Amino acid sequence: MDDTVQNYVTSHSVEEGYAGRIDVVTGPSGRRRWPEQVKAEIVLESYRDGVSVADVARKHGVSAPQLHSWRRAARDGVLAMPDDDMLGLVPVVVEAGGGDGGHMPPDGPGTIVLEIDGVRMLVPTGFDPEHLGRVIAALRAAS
């Protein structure tokens, strides 16, 4: 039998045989300890688009208030979160005048200039974001 399952039997009769009522309590009981990296993964999952905190909490067997507490700890810097590189975040630097001494990129004002690992990319503003993500991932993998 699994260690996490606890069975409680309540008998309302002095005679052997039928116990009258049997309560079976399953699942964890008492206080659980969550490793920091597991908390961080659950918090990250709760920030994904289209998911609710309650659904993520239910999925992992955590109460919604507990997950909100972990999210607050992450915001306050108390809960260690993975590095930005693991999250796929890219630092953004905004420069006045287009960044080239006041000259606009060759494709005109509707262009975004990205510099990643010493490689400069000119991206039209209407470029598909999912495809751009694949291009950036390939660029990072190659360098």
Condensed to tens digits (0 to 9), the pLDDT of residues 15-52 reads: 666 656 767 766 666 678 889 989 999 999 998 888 99
| pTM attached to this predicted model | 0.43
Condensed to tens digits (0 to 9), the pLDDT of residues 57-105 reads: 999 989 999 999 999 998 888 888 876 444 455 566 666 555 555 454 4
Distance from the Cα of residue 20 to its chain's centroid: 47
The pLDDT of 94-117, averaged and rounded, is: 62
Query: Which pLDDT value is given to residue 115?
Result: 79
Query: Which pLDDT value is given to residue 121?
Result: 84
The token duo for 39 is: 């908390």
Query: Which pLDDT value is given to residue 52?
Result: 93
Query: Which pLDDT value is given to residue 85?
Result: 45
H helices of 4-128, in order, are 36-46, 53-60, 64-75, 84-87
CATH of 6-85, one of 1.10.10.10, 3.30.460.10, 3.30.559.10, 3.20.10.10: 1.10.10.10
The pLDDT of 115-119, averaged and rounded, is: 77
The pLDDT of 119-129, averaged and rounded, is: 82
Map residue 19 onto helix, strand or coil. Answer: coil
**Rounded Cα gap, residues 62 and 54, in angstroms:** 9
The token duo for 133 is: 């993500």
Instruction: Give residue 56's pLDDT band: very low, low, confident or very high (50, 70, 90).
Output: very high
Residue spans in the chain of domains classed CATH 1.10.10.10: 6-85
Whether 65 and 25 have beta carbons less than 8 Å apart is answered as no
